[in-house]
């Protein structure tokens, strides 16, 4: 797995088993395809190698380039708890980016999280996607069998309030899958005690 960042957000790329294709975890800021592609290049890859994308949640720094990805032929996944946040995100994006083009809803590859292990396995990635609400209801995390967890904007445990049952439950689920190496979208990776 490799990572790069721009505008204070980290993006991750996971190699698929064919040795050529990549799965992107999160899809950039709106109207920033060149910056994103520059990041991919700095990470040692080419944008055209990305064949799949998973979005941790539909906020503009995570799903801003989904339409650009779709136009480039990248299959973007949509899980059962996702989709409701798209409209709100796009309303916000259009306030500052008149040139923004909306996501094509019928282009998503819709998948249930409990189907994610089989799907990922089919492209050569050992792991699964789980729902990790807390930061937002549409949040998911990708946990690999190498004990890595890509958590998007899930709040780090020390910042989770005692009564934030959603976030606490999400951390419990991540732990239950054996994750140790945590990769947030806006902070340095850290080890789970
Ligand atoms: Zn974010």
What tens-digit pLDDT sequence spans the chain (193 residues)?
A: 999 999 999 999 999 988 899 999 999 999 999 999 999 999 999 999 999 999 999 999 999 999 999 999 999 999 999 999 999 999 999 999 999 999 999 999 999 999 999 999 999 999 999 999 999 999 999 999 999 999 999 998 889 999 999 999 999 999 999 999 999 999 999 999 8
CA of 21 to the centre of ligand 1 (A): 25
Which helix (H) or strand (E) element contains residue 190? strand 190-191
CA of 29 to the centre of ligand 1 (A): 10
Torsion of CA 14, 15, 20, 24, to 10 degrees: -10
CA of 154 to the centre of ligand 1 (A): 9
CA of 184 to the centre of ligand 1 (A): 9
Q: What's the confidence (pLDDT) of residue 158?
A: 86
Q: What's the confidence (pLDDT) of residue 91?
A: 97
Q: What's the confidence (pLDDT) of residue 19?
A: 84
CA of 89 to the centre of ligand 1 (A): 12
Return d(Cα 165, Cα 117) in angstroms, integer.
26
Task: With CA atoms as reference, report the closest residue to 181 among 158, 140, 151.
Answer: 151
Name all domains of the chain by residue range, CATH numbers in brackets. 2-191 (3.60.15.10)
CA of 79 to the centre of ligand 1 (A): 18
- The phi, psi pair for 31, rounded to 5°, reads 55, 35
CA of 18 to the centre of ligand 1 (A): 30
Q: What's the confidence (pLDDT) of residue 153?
A: 98
Q: What's the confidence (pLDDT) of residue 18?
A: 84
């Amino acid at each position: 797995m490799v990572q790069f960042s721009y505008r204070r957000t980290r993006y991750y790329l996971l190699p698929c088993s064919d040795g050529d294709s990549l799965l992107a975890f999160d899809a950039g800021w709106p109207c920033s395809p060149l910056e994103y592609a520059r990041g991919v290049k700095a990470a040692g890859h080419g944008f055209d190698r990305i064949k799949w994308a998973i979005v941790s949640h539909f906020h503009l720094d995570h799903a801003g380039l989904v339409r650009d990805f779709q136009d480039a032929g990248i299959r973007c996944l949509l899980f059962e708890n996702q989709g409701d946040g798209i409209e709100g995100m796009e309303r916000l994006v259009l306030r500052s980016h008149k040139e923004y083009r909306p996501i094509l809803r019928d282009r998503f590859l819709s998948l249930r999280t409990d189907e994610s292990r089989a799907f990922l396995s089919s492209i050569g990635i050992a792991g699964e996607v789980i729902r990790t609400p807390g930061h937002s209801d549409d949040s998911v995390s990708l946990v690999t069998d190498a004990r890595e967890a890509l958590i998007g904007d899930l709040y780090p445990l020390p910042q989770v309030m005692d009564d934030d049952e959603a976030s606490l439950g999400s951390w419990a689920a991540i732990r239950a899958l054996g994750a140790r190496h945590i990769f947030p979208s806006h902070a340095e990776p850290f080890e789970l005690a």
